[in-house]
Amino acid sequence: MKSKIISLYIITALFLILATTLTQAMIVKSVSSDTIYPGQEGSVTITLKNDASTDITDVSMTLDFSNLPLTSVESSEANVDEILEGKTKVFTFHVKANNDAKPGNYNVPYTITYDEAITPKKGTIGIEVSGKTDLEYTTIQTTNVIGSKGKVDLKIINKGTGAAKFVDVKITPQGFTLLSEPDVYIGTIDSDDFQTASFDVLYNKKGAVLNAIITYQDFDNKEITQTLELPLNVYTREEAIRLGIIKKSNAMWIILLIIVVVVLLLIRRNRIRRRKLKRNELAMR
């Protein structure tokens, strides 16, 4: 009886050792993925290696996309009949990122099963949802009249899904004199957001151009440099008055009115003085 119990313990221990060994033997050797953007799909390739000292059969791998902004395009499960000792097999999954998925890295749980009696192997793999940085530029001007001090605002709008980081703006004046620093550091412009670089200027002539060099890092930390040549609207004083950009000065009319009033007062004063003189002359007679 004792020998049977001992034999049972030995068999159980051997089974547990074998199960543990096989569970540890099936490893994820590598993971590679297409660049996946929100609303788009790509392939995720996972290489499994049989690191055991025996062949392993009925191998199946399942990805769990629950509570993630990712879905399986076809099946979330892949399988193969056998992986020989020391060999590898490649499983390919087609994955789509939701339209509202935020760029970033996501840990996707997986389960590997094989040889029905063996405990499943669990873990996670990383899948990155990338972001596109798409910058657009517009200018906003104030007091854009020849000979006047004004302001040029360069508005930078990020219409992409990925943030623009370390954004720096450097301008070279053409047709205007720069009254402030030519280099403005902005920093980060998040997706669906904007930032503004402002410059104080003195407009010299029509046909002015804002020449700018924009440098930043995109979502993948790639250094990007963009060169801009944005025409600026500059008006003569007469055009600005006609368009209502500036109001016509009434200073000259005010000066003329003051002169007229002073002249009339002097005339009135002289008349009063002459009348007094006449009355005095009549009184003396």
Going by their DSSP bridges, the two strands 41-50 and 56-63 should be labelled as unpaired
Class of CATH domain 21-129: mainly beta
Same fold? 21-129, 135-243: yes
Q: How far apart are CA 273 and CA 284, in angstroms?
A: 17
* Residue 230, H or E segment: strand 223-231
- The first and second tokens of residue 226, run together, are 């963009």
Residue with structure tokens 């068999």?
Answer: 11
pLDDT, tens digit, 9 for 90 and up, residues 125-148: 999 999 999 999 999 999 999 999
What residue ranges do the domains of the chain occupy? Answer: 21-129, 135-243
pLDDT, tens digit, 9 for 90 and up, residues 239-251: 888 877 776 655 5
pLDDT, tens digit, 9 for 90 and up, residues 43-96: 999 999 999 888 999 999 999 999 999 999 989 999 999 999 999 999 999 999
Mean pLDDT of 7-35: 63
Q: How far apart are CA 170 and CA 181, in angstroms?
A: 9
pLDDT, tens digit, 9 for 90 and up, residues 143-198: 999 999 999 999 999 999 999 999 999 999 999 999 999 999 999 999 999 999 99
Query: What single letter denotes the amino acid at residue 245?
Result: I
Q: What is the pTM of this model?
A: 0.66
How is residue 36 annotated by DSSP?
B
135-243: in CATH 2.30.38.10: no
Q: 210: closest CA among 158, 153, 159? A: 153
